[in-house]
Amino acid sequence: MNILQTYQTFYFVGIGGIGMSALARYFNASGKKVLGYDKTNTKLTQNLMNEGIDIVFEDLIDDRITSLQKEDTLVIYTPAIKTLGILDYFNQNQFEVLKRAKVLGLITENTDCIAIAGTHGKTTTSTLVAHLCKEADLPFSCFLGGISENFKSNFLYNGSTYSVVEADEYDRSFLNLSPDWAVVTSTDADHLDIYGDKSHIEEGFRQFAALVPQDQQLFVRKGVEIGRGHQTYAVNEPADFYSDNLRMDHDKIYFDFHTPTETIKDFVWGIPGIHNVENATVALAILHNLGADFDTLKKAIANFKGIKRRYTKHIYQNGKIYIDDYAHHPTEINAVMSSIRTFYPDKKLLVAFQPHLFSRTRDFADGFAESLSKADELILLDIYPARELQENFEGITSSWLLDKVTLDKKEVSTLADAFEKIKEKDFDILLTVGAGNIDTLYDPICEWIEKIGV
């Protein structure tokens, strides 16, 4: 029997994380008692509480914790949390305590698991695969790293034959999965605080790929070395599955899709960027292999609305454009900037960027500086520390990074001051970007731009 079936209560330490919240929603939807802790009250934690989940925001051992029985309670934690009194209590009192990735692996081990991995593109790809599964009415559940704009959640249950999961490379979490199908979108250097260097992260992805039982069920972007047999996908070059003949018309991209045996013309895709056509290509390849028909897939691709904070775009009557994105690596920022410059080459671009982690800022400083220098004006927010302590990264600050940016118009700001600074600027397009808490600016900015006169 699966160990998860022995518990009726599930306590989440760090429940507000995007991956943790999907698991919390799964157990809540299964009729279990779900409660948890997080450091910060956010829109996501508010939504979880609205769904009936009890959440605390202080690291206190109160009666909600002391009343829990270890025989009946499974504690799930994220490795992003290093020290916490609540977690210490559970460990000291011999509760079963498991990492998020281990629990996700246990949930999906009795399904045909479709796992999407990669240092970039995995959230869009996994969310699109889930959307296509839903539109094709396949029996599946999904656990995503972003909020789907189509079903307004990072979790959906539509049956238990398949599971669609975002396979997280952080802390080698994806090695806890048992993928029957898998995608590797990219193996660029990231999370060097865990892996040390690029060769070790590439080895981590090779270990993940080795978990897939059959070569034809592993899909890898052409050019990525993965150390075993697989199917390739690409854009504008031949591969086992590829898209080409890309045309842009009124913010839509049209493309043709090729399988090893046929060509299907004129897919319509509303998510900008060639990298996103790549994501659509591999999603189509998987669904084709699962037996979905192309008429259904064409309609599904056309009505995919994207993911919250993945190039979320608003065009206002006053002519202003506001784009919000989660990008937190130079490659991702370059992709966003390239899409903006492709669609709007002559518009003045103001970027507000919040670096995420001192270690990532240090490791990729030159890349960040190069990508941010493509803006017309930059507001660089203080570094969001997440799990790290500034005292361990002496000299790594936003001012240090700003010195590397080649723009004339640039400045550092706290998050608290950023909105007022933005309101003082002259811009055609505003891009807010980062993976920390810069998203708290989103609603105020939307309301403000809406009110600006033409």
What domains can you pick out in the chain, each with its CATH number? 3-100 (3.40.50.720), 111-302 (3.40.1190.10), 312-451 (3.90.190.20)
Residue of higher predicted confidence among 333 and 387 = 333
According to the model, what pLDDT value does residue 343 have? 80
Confidence band of 194 (pLDDT split at 50, 70, 90): low
Q: Across residues 368-397, what is the average pLDDT?
A: 92
Name every residue whose Cβ is closer than 8 Å to that of residue 411 and which is 6 or more positions away in sequence. 378, 379, 380, 402, 421
Q: Which pLDDT score, from 0 to 100, does residue 292 have?
A: 97
CA of 3: how far to CAs of 77, 93, 162, in Å?
16, 19, 20
Answer yes or no: is pLDDT of 1 > 50. Answer: no
- The listed range with the strongest mean pLDDT (106-110, 116-120, 210-214, 342-346) is 210-214
pLDDT (mean) for 173-199: 76
Measured in whole angstroms, the distance separating CA 198 from the mean position of its chain's CA atoms is 21
Rounded Cα distance between 291 and 393, Å, is 51
Does position 250 have pLDDT exceeding 80, yes or no? no
Split at pLDDT 50, 70, 90, the class of 196 is low
User: If DSSP states are collapsed to H, E and C, what string results for the chain?
Assistant: CCHHHHCCEEEEECCCCHHHHHHHHHHHHCCCEEEEECCCCCHHHHHHHHCCCEEECCCCCCHHHHCCCCCCEEEEECCCCCCCHHHHHHHHCCCEEEEHHHHHHHHHCCCEEEEEECCCCHHHHHHHHHHHHHHCCCCEEEECCCCECCCCCCEEECCCCEEEEEECCHHHHHHHCCCCEEEECCCCCCCHHHHCCHHHHHHHHHHHHCCCCCHHHEEEECCCCCCCCCEEEEECCCCCEEEEEEEEECCEEEEEEECCCCEEEEEEECCCCHHHHHHHHHHHHHHHHCCCCHHHHHHHHHCCCCECCCCEEEECCCCCEEEEECCCCHHHHHHHHHHHHHHCCCCCEEEEEECECHHHHHHCHHHHHHHHCCCCEEEEECCECCCCCHHHCCCCCHHHHHCCCCCCCEEEECHHHHHHHHHCCCCCEEEEEECCCHHHHHHHHHHHHHHCCC
pLDDT tens digits along 55-73: 999 999 999 999 999 999 9
% the chain with pLDDT above 90: 70
* Residue 228 main-chain phi, psi, to 5 deg: -165, 170
Q: Are 138 and 115 in contact (CB under 8 A)?
A: no
For the record, the structure tokens of 81 come out as: 């949390």
Average of per-residue pLDDT across 378-382: 97
**Residues with Cβ within 8 Å of residue 348, at least 6 apart in sequence:** 376, 377, 426, 427, 428, 429
Q: Summarize pLDDT for 413-444 with one digit per residue, the tens.
A: 999 999 999 999 999 999 999 988 898 899 99
What confidence tens digit (pLDDT) does each residue in 279-299 have?
999 999 999 999 999 999 999
Q: What is the pLDDT of residues 216-244, one digit of tens each?
A: 999 999 999 999 999 999 999 999 999 99
Q: What is the mean pLDDT of the chain?
A: 91
Dihedral in degrees, nearest 10, Cα atoms 84, 90, 92, 95: -150
The whole-number pLDDT of residue 434 equals 93
* pTM of this structure: 0.78
Partners of 233 in the β-ladder: 221, 241
Query: pLDDT > 70: what percent of the chain?
Result: 97
pLDDT at 191 over 80: no
Residue 193 reports pLDDT greater than 70: no
Find the mean pLDDT for residues 180-191.
80
